[in-house]
Structure 1
Amino acid sequence: MKLSEIRQILETAETVNFVLENGKSVPDHFHVTEVGIITKHFIDCGGTIRNEKVTNFQLWDANDFEHRLKPGKLQKIIALSEKVLQMDDLEIEVEYQSDTIGKYDLGFDGKNFILLSKKTACLAKDDCGNQNHHEQKNTSKLETSCCSPNGNCC
């Protein structure tokens, strides 16, 4: 979900509820403690330089039972963040505490925002040399790939 999509949903929402994919609700008294931009600059296992940028929301179970985040308040937090941080219309990544800080994609089911599990993946499927990604791969390419058994990535 992009930032523009959550803004549109908040225009008509009566409440702000977050639910994990397993159905467990984020407590009603959560706080959005951060709205920001996270930039990740890295090299994948195929040697490609990559840049990723997301809008980050951090949810916190505050044990502050007297307050509940209303749609209008979240709209104001987002608007201020967009103005001050000059945010683009980026995908939203949500951080939420479980055993450790988890990172989630964001969806919406018509009533609740859904924290969608993120998965790791090989980003260089054509260059990596991991045969689990390829049925037909040139053996000489495998031997020279950085992630091949004879490669230089590890």
Structure 2
Amino acid sequence: MKLSQVKENLTKLDNVEFQLENGKYVPENFHVTEVGLVNRRFIDCGGTMRNETVVNFQLWDANDYEHRLKPAKLLSIIKLSEELLALEDLEVEVEYQNLTIGRYGLGFNGKQFILTSKTTACLARDACGVPNVKQNLSLNLRGKSECSPNSGCC
């Protein structure tokens, strides 16, 4: 989700809620402790230089159980960040501590922002010999095995 979409969605809400894909909510007393511009420069395993830039929100829940971040307040934090950091309309990534600090994408279901899972991937598949297409496997689910136990196929 791009920053412009976050701002547009905030104008439609009475409360700011974040939910993980598994249905668990970020506690309602969370803080947005950082809004940042994160630029990653890296070389993939094939030797190609890459650049990734995102807007980053860091969520933190403390023991101040009466705290509630309202949409107008988050919009004001975003506006200040746009001015001071010269933020562009980039994808938003969210940092939130579960067992460790996790990096999440951001979605919206019409009522809550959804912290979406991010995965790793090989960006240089040719250099690593990783096939671009998933292999199709034929599974026999009828209970009869078509291979012998010592053949190595099962």
* TM-score bracket for the superposition, by shorter chain length: 0.7 to 0.9
Counterpart in the other structure of 1:35: 35
Query: Normalization by structure 1: what TM-score?
Result: 0.84
Counterpart in the other structure of 1:151: none
What's the offset of the Cα at 1:134? 5.8
1:81 aligns with 2:84: no
What's the offset of the Cα at 1:133? 3.3
Indicate the SS of the match to 1:105. Answer: strand
Counterpart in the other structure of 1:50: 50
Query: Normalization by structure 2: what TM-score?
Result: 0.84
Higher helix share: 1
Counterpart in the other structure of 2:138: none
Counterpart in the other structure of 2:132: 133
Q: Which amino acid aligns with 1:103?
A: R
Counterpart in the other structure of 2:148: none
Q: Which amino acid aligns with 2:89?
A: D
Distance 1:130 1:55 in 2: 33
Counterpart in the other structure of 2:140: none
What's the offset of the Cα at 1:124? 1.5
Taking only the aligned residue pairs, the percentage that are identical comes to 62
Tell me if the contact between 2:45 and 2:128 (Cα under 8 Å) persists in the aligned partners: no
Distance 2:73 2:119 in 1: 31
Task: Report the structure number with the largest CA radius of gyration.
Answer: 2
RMSD: 1.2
What's the offset of the Cα at 1:123? 1.0
Indicate the SS of the match to 1:103. Answer: strand
What's the offset of the Cα at 1:12? 1.5
Any unmatched runs of 5+ in structure 2?
Answer: 135-154
Indicate the SS of the match to 1:41. Answer: strand
Any unmatched runs of 5+ in structure 1?
Answer: 136-154
What's the offset of the Cα at 1:47? 1.1
